[in-house]
Amino acid sequence: MKMHAIPGLALLLALTQAAPAQSPDRSTPPLPGPPPSLRLPPVQRVHLENGLPLMLMEKHTVPLVQLTLVVRTGSVRDPAGKEGLAAMTAALMTRGAGARDALALAEAVDYLGASLTAEAGRHTSSVSLFTPRAQLEEGLRLLADVILRPAFPDSELSRERALRLTTMVQWRSSPEVLADLALQQLLFGASHPYGRPVLGSAPGIAALSPADLREFHGRWYHSGNAAMIVVGDVTLEELQPRLEEVLAGWPSGPEIAGNVRPAEQVAGRRVILLDQPAAPQTQIRIGRIGAPRITDDYYALVVMNTVLGGSFSSRLNTNLREVHGYGYGAGSDFDCRLLPGPFVVWSAVESAVTDSALMEIFRELERIRQPLPEPEVAKARNYLALSYPAAFQTVTSIALQLDEMATYGLPEDYFNRYVDSILAVSADDAQRVAQRYIDPQSMVVVLVGDRSAIEHRVRALELGTFELLTIDQLLGPAPAVPAATSATDVR
């Protein structure tokens, strides 16, 4: 059979053979494209009849709704001797409410294909419902039971107490946890709310009673001290009447002003070693008091910290992991809270290179205070700008962002202006905040590792005063874990 050439194909083949080979230019990396624009729907704000503020952002792309009640109370409100009260109160709110015990409530939530959770932080607590749009009405009734009518049964308190005390026993064998706890206590002091875990203390948890939980709930969980955040496939016209109905019996009350004092800044350098015999690695934490969330320096701090230790390609991670191979990673973070929170540098390195790693970390802390190259700052700006829209992909992640807006009183256009604010940070801005907030000569250095392998090398560095710390000094004696009150308490 005779083959016939296709004219267009023959011409294409001829041109291809005649054209010289083109090699891609790999001499410079490609420039990043423009950051994606972020234009979110407006946040609709109203007040229910009982005074509860309601913030709604509609998102109709998927038939899901996220509701989060944010209450202005947390571990900073734990009374002396009952540390852990806020966290325990929140945890037990979903362990029986209204006419349902813990098992019946869990079964009702599962039947809806929903999720109902409660937790406490340092300054705020939250109760959250994530539900399919079709089950919203019944989900709201369960949510209202948990908010208004938690049972706080003694059996559930006993079970949760045993779980939390068990967790505290486990802390004692976790170098990573010990390093985090030691740094926050050494920075803020054991008596400051920022100096102790949100979970509380073993004596405090052991002392809690159902009456304590009911009193804490009655004092802080009221409509005048909270806000409701809703994101998802629902309109204000649909939602507001339903919320008015299920929360009609919730009393209002005044918002109680905070009385937590800022912690004093670190003076000089202290090195604290907590011995973990035979540990193959040293957990390193270096820190000082940082910045509050509401500050004009916030965007410059975010950009500067991205250069220092806030991304995989940061200076700290590149130095310790990529250049020297001391460990798997290193980084830094400003935990900005209502009051100035901690600035922390973290890493875990092989015991034999603990001293070398410390020297490299302090070199980077000194270097970040020097003039920053504009291309490096631009890279950090672009990284932050390009990744920011990912925080608004789901109703749950958007609700978390609105939680931040409610907690800190951020302006209405905050999210839509975030990228522009980041891109406006200059290299001079980044250096200025580095010099203001990072002082390598005034730091607390916490090391958790094998004393026999690292002490003599670290002492030889003469970084500052050297102290030894024991687990009992940090956490107190190991708590006695009570047995479950009955077989049904263990689930």
CA distance 337 to 121: 11
What's the pLDDT at 259?
A: 73
Residue 332 in contact with residue 309, Cβ under 8 Å? yes
CATH superfamily label, 270-475:
Metalloenzyme, LuxS/M16 peptidase-like (3.30.830.10)
For the ranges 141-145, 417-421, 478-482, which has the lowest average pLDDT? 478-482
Cα separation, 413 vs 54, in Å, equals 17
Yes or no: say if 297 and 436 are a contact pair by the CB < 8 Å rule: yes
Q: Two tokens at 114?
A: 């929903």
* Structure confidence by residue, pLDDT tens digits, 155-192: 999 999 999 999 999 999 999 999 999 999 999 999 99
pLDDT confidence bin for 1, thresholds 50/70/90: very low
Amino acid at 1: M
Q: Which of 270, 293, 242 is nearest to 409 (CA)?
A: 293
The predicted pLDDT at position 403 comes to 95
Q: Coil, helix or strand for 410?
A: coil
Per-residue pLDDT tens over the stretch 449-473: 999 999 999 999 999 999 999 999 9
CATH topology of 44-260 equal to that of 270-475? Answer: yes
Domain extent listing, the chain: 44-260, 270-475
Q: Which of 13-22, 117-126, 242-251, 285-294 has the lowest mean pLDDT?
A: 13-22
The CB density around residue 101, as the number of other CB atoms within 10 Å, is: 15
Q: How far apart are alpha carbons 90 and 220 in whole angstroms?
A: 11
CATH of 44-260, one of 3.40.50.1950, 3.30.830.10, 3.40.50.1110, 1.10.10.10: 3.30.830.10
pTM for the whole structure: 0.89
Task: List b or e across 462-480, with b for residues whose CB sees 16 or more CB atoms inside 10 angstroms.
Answer: ebbebeebebeebbeeebe
Residue 299 in contact with residue 421, Cβ under 8 Å?
yes
> How many Cβ atoms are within 10 Å of 252's Cβ, its own excluded?
14
- What's the confidence (pLDDT) of residue 486? 39
Burial group, residue 174, by CB count within 10 angstroms (0-12, 13-18, 19+): middle
214-223 pLDDT, tens digit each: 999 999 999 9
pLDDT for 471: 96
Angstrom distance (rounded) from CA 76 to CA 173: 27
The closest of 219, 97, 73, 213 to 146, measured between CA atoms, is 97
Amino acid at 419: V
